[in-house]
Amino acid sequence: MPLHPDTVAVHAGRADFGALGVHAAPIDLSSTNPLPDILHGGDSYESMATGGHPLTDGGNVYARLWNPTVARFEEALSELEHSEASVAFGSGMAAMTAAILAHTTAVGKRHIVAVRPLYGGTDHLLDSGLLGAEVTFCHEHEVAASIRPDTGMIVLETPANPTLDLVDIAAVVAQSDGIPVLVDNTFATPLLQNPLDLGAAMSMHSATKYIGGHGDVIAGVISCSERTAEALRRVRAITGALLHPLGAYLLHRGLATLPMRIHAQQSSARALAHSLRENPAVSEVLYPEFDDERGLIGRQMRGGGAMISIRLAGGYAAAEALTGAVRLFTHAVSLGGVDSLIQHPAALTHRPVAPAARPGADVVRLSIGLENVDDLLIDLEQALAKARVQATA
């Protein structure tokens, strides 16, 4: 019988611990490794440089190509994402960059279809043309019409950053005509959503967020087929976008508590979202469980997650006052950690986005942590009261 995801999160990636005689995950910090001989070392190097695995008798050769601590984390996340493989990178943006290169210029295709809204960094990277790719931004129902003969990849994020729009993954896959679909699964995590089960080719995470969960590691990871992983590893080896072993250790350790954190944070977010709907300073609460006419919560996603965005009746002036008046919420970018964060997307994470696609100045994003939900509500209510006064002054 398949194990529950809560159990998988604790035990995944530990298969070799018994043979190693360890209970906690070991950290291999070697930048280089002894070679058995020229022939076998060279063959192993060739295997890894082209996206494969180290050969049994050839050694790991060099950390830019392979590291066992990183590999254990990748194996563990693959179990949670129901994928054949995962490939970890030094940041979420490095992961996205590798996916773009592997599916566009590397295979003679320059075009990408992207469903907005997206994380500001992703949107900016796509729109910049920096990697030699062309992009067509569209809505979910426009994907099929946006595809060209040279389209190499389709990109979407659900729930989307920062407005928490839901995209029907299966519906996009149905329009894809076999073109690989990458889903940014950062907000949902593999505990709440598994894009590959819905036909997506890649599930990407800024592992900096919920996977790590403690605000002390920068990383990205893509779960996919072994064939796709080979292409991604090849880009990683060439560009040097590797994840440091210490970061991989922290991420692997973070997976064990991911279920408990997600369940608790989601419960608090749901309660706060309902309470904020009654606050006169808030004109709209954006939360995935609200206005889900298509029934994607339950069919695609197991709950609304732990992110909330709010539109403030007082616009930018209220947003400025709110972010300065909170006491328990830290005014900072990023999300998914054990402590609650608040930020203004239009001025920060989505500042590079084209004005027409940028979130409104009245939008504030909340990442709900593990604090007591009543304490968080009291903090928001006192800060919103000040924001309301400031906006009407």
| Whole-number Å distance between alpha carbons of 107 and 133 | 12
Query: Which residue type sits at 124?
Result: H
Decide: helix, strand or coil at residue 363: strand
Sequence-ordered list of residues with C-beta below 8 angstroms from that of 92, at least 6 positions apart, any chain? 119, 121, 186, 204, 205, 206, 207, 208, 219, 220
| Whole-number Å distance between alpha carbons of 158 and 144 | 18
Catalytic residue among 45, 119, 249, 287: 119
- Closest Cα partner for 335 from 283, 270, 262, 388? 262
| Whole-number Å distance between alpha carbons of 7 and 119 | 31
Catalytic residue among 6, 43, 64, 386: 64
Distances (CA, A) of 361 to 127, 245, 310, 311, 318: 21, 39, 11, 9, 10
Is 119 known to be catalytic?
yes
List strand residue ranges (DSSP E) for 273-392, in order. Answer: 282-286, 307-312, 330-331, 341-343, 363-367
Catalytic residue among 123, 165, 168, 184: 184
Is 287 known to be catalytic?
no
Query: Which residue type sits at 87?
Result: V
* φ, ψ for residue 56, nearest 5 deg: -55, -40
Decide: helix, strand or coil at residue 177: coil
Q: Indicate the Cα dihedral angle 63, 49, 153, 292, nearest 10°.
A: -30
Is 45 known to be catalytic?
no
Is 386 known to be catalytic?
no
| Whole-number Å distance between alpha carbons of 292 and 296 | 7
DSSP track, 281-310 = TEEEEE-TTSS-TT-HHHHTBSS--SEEEE
CA 256, distance to chain mean position in Å, is: 18
User: How, if at all, do strands 341-343 and 134-138 pair?
Assistant: unpaired
Catalytic residue among 109, 116, 209, 388: 209
Q: Indicate the Cα dihedral angle 35, 39, 42, 48, nearest 10°.
A: -90
Beta bridge partners of 202: 182
Decide: helix, strand or coil at residue 367: strand
- Which positions are annotated as active-site residues? 64, 119, 184, 209
